[in-house]
A and B are shown apart, each in its own frame.
Chain A
Amino acid sequence: MQETSTQQETIVSKPTLAFNGQGTELFSIQIVNIALMLVTLGLYYPWAKAKNLQYIYRKTELAGSPFTFHGTGKEMFIGFIKGLGIFAVLYSILIYGTLQAQTDLGMYFLCLFVFMGGLSVLVPLAIHGMMRYRTSRTSWRGIHMGYRGTLGSMFKVFYLNLFLTIITFGIYSAWFTTNIRKEIFKNLRFGNAQFSYTGDGGELLILNIKGYIFTIFTLGIYSFWWAKDLVHFYINNIFIEQDGKYSRLDTSLTGGQYFVLAVGNLLIMVFTLGLGYAWVVTRTMHAIVNNCEIIGEFNPDALAQTEEEYKNATFEDMADMMDIGII
């Protein structure tokens, strides 16, 4: 806190990022959440998620001001039910097909095809929907973020890259990852500021090959440095353009810090039987956010409101159900 305020007083205002959340506070929120979820047989989940996000956003600060998550449990509950419905239909088809496998192999493959096809449509749909909802419900000093990508262009990027990944036996997946990130970030707005992602698929491929080989030779120890490299690759390639001037995100996370974080998190989870999950979240947020800074001429005082309101949360929970984590 103090560090933030002294930096604000210097003449060139530095857009510092900080996470001030505490495990005990988050824990007290999660206890209430879990208790209510047990009582409601899980239906409280969207409200619990909203509270969780509201807390995490409130404790994440840029230039001394917190972010706000505007999403509500009610909005996400509607999305949750719709998502549940879509999954129920898809899985019923798959289970029906599996049961028919003995008698009607054609039916089995048809069901499998419909299921896989459905899933492959859902993934880009979920990424798109989640980005639109999540960004629109995020604000800082009242300025909202926004996502301007179209579903059509997301489908195009997704299927083209999926196709190339399949015919190259997975080698292209490094480009798949970076191209999806490029598509997402170039459509991301923070008021009148615009993001872009410049990571290169080739770089990611080499990074992964190196990480894989070194991890084997060091009996797994290198994996922490591999993970650190990935964090650097994902964060350091994010650019922000504001009034024609570019700034860049930069992380100073070291392999040693990542090692302490990962091993610490594991020990916390094991020795508290999972009850320490809140501390795992806050430790991780601390490590990522507090090691991150914005390099360049980004002026946090000069953002203007540009985005419109958007409240459709259908794919917010769908992304959760499919384990899609983007940022």
Chain B
Amino acid sequence: MFEGKYYNGRTSKGMPAFITLEPNYIRISWRADGDSGTEIWHLDQIHKSEFNDATTVLEYGGFPRQSIAVFEQGFREVLEMKFSGASFLRSKYDSFQRTGVKGLVIGGVSLLVLAIVLFVWGIPALAEKAAAHFPEEYERAMGEQLYHQMMMGHTVDSAKTAALQEYVAALHVESDFPVQVTVVKNDQVNAFAIPGGFVVVHDAILDEMEHHEELAGLLGHEIGHVQMRHSTKALARSLSYYMLLSILFGDVSGIAAVIVDNASTLTNLEYSRSAETDADKAGLELLVQNNLNPQGMVWLMERLQSDAPEFLKFISTHPATQDRINEIESHIPETNYKPVPNPALEAAWKKLKAE
């Protein structure tokens, strides 16, 4: 027999009670203010009791529930011995807690390892797979939306755009998407690609260039980004991260916010360094395919390097320029051909420079 408090569910007054554990039920004899009574609790109507400490609390029946609270006296042990296997004592949480520090440490570490594996390999791999299977029409449509949205904040130089488009037309390009170039007025020496074949070039970078091979290299670089679906992959990846975090923290509205916000964040998406190196290679390949001087790619890089403070912003998301030059130069000997002058390209280049 144990001493405890009995609460009848109608008032909060704790009534002193004697609690007896019978084979198939619990008997509670209570006494308060000259009143007294006995309750019989059937095991199947006792509610699940978890997370108990020195005090064991049991609740019983429908609304409003009766309850008892028993402070120590070995009540918990006797309860578990007598009613072992009863549903109100079963708890996967309590049993995990009983594994102690060892169980917690193993559980915590394996969860951490799982999270790292998921974040470092799992999600990027899945996202890239998904992005690679993204239908071309959708990617083009998505790119078109983004392109229009981005152009709202820019002034397009239509004369230069037309000249640059002529240059691209004279260039031999291998791409899944029709390449559409746009020149915008901007002092920043920069250019960027949007999924679906859209390449945006700032007029400042055109002004800096001295050889048309540099331009071909730049276009090859940006088209490389598009062809290798770098933005789409990065977008898919950040979206998957967001979804995983949302699942863990139960925030649903965030997912949609990412989709809506992507237009503004896409310009800031940092292509990884390996993506940049791959795009540089694509730029070099384009020069090779068109029998242009492979040195154009190096000139392009040197132009970025020559005026460091001015270009810091552009460079910061990219590998160190000297490393990129070294990387390109290491590939140039593999290209053994004689550069051939290309009158169509040169004419388009002259026209572009004249505008």
Contact = CB atoms under 8 A, between A and B. Distances in A.
Interface of A: 1, 20, 24-25, 27-29, 31-32, 34-35, 37-38, 41-42, 45, 49, 51, 54-55, 58-59, 65-66, 68, 83-84, 87, 91, 94-95, 98-99, 101-102, 139-144, 191, 273, 275, 300-305, 309, 317, 320-323
Please give me the 10 A-B residue pairs with the lowest Cβ-Cβ distance, nearest first: A42-B247, A91-B256, A303-B12, A142-B9, A141-B12, A31-B107, A309-B63, A141-B7, A58-B51, A28-B97
A42 to B, nearest CB: 3
B12 A140 contact: yes
B250 A141 contact: no
Contacts of A302: 11-13
A96 to B, nearest CB: 11
B67 A141 contact: yes
Contacts of B50: 54-55, 58
Interface of B: 7-14, 50-55, 57, 59, 63-67, 69, 92-93, 96-97, 101, 103-104, 107-108, 111-112, 114-115, 145, 148-149, 246-248, 250-253, 256, 259-260
Nearest to B141: A99
Contacts of A29: 93, 97
Given A54-B50, A141-B12, A303-B11, 12 more contacts: A28-B107, A31-B96, A87-B252, A87-B256, A102-B145, A142-B7, A142-B64, A143-B12, A275-B111, A302-B11, A302-B13, A321-B253
Contacts of A87: 252-253, 256
Nearest to A276: B108
Contacts of B251: 320-321, 323
Contact of B111 (A34, A94, A321): A34
A273 B120 CA distance: 15
Contacts of A101: 149
Contacts of B52: 58
A301 to B, nearest CB: 5
Contacts of A317: 250
B12 A32 contact: no
Given A27-B108, A54-B50, A275-B111, A32 B248 contact: no
A68 B68 CA distance: 13
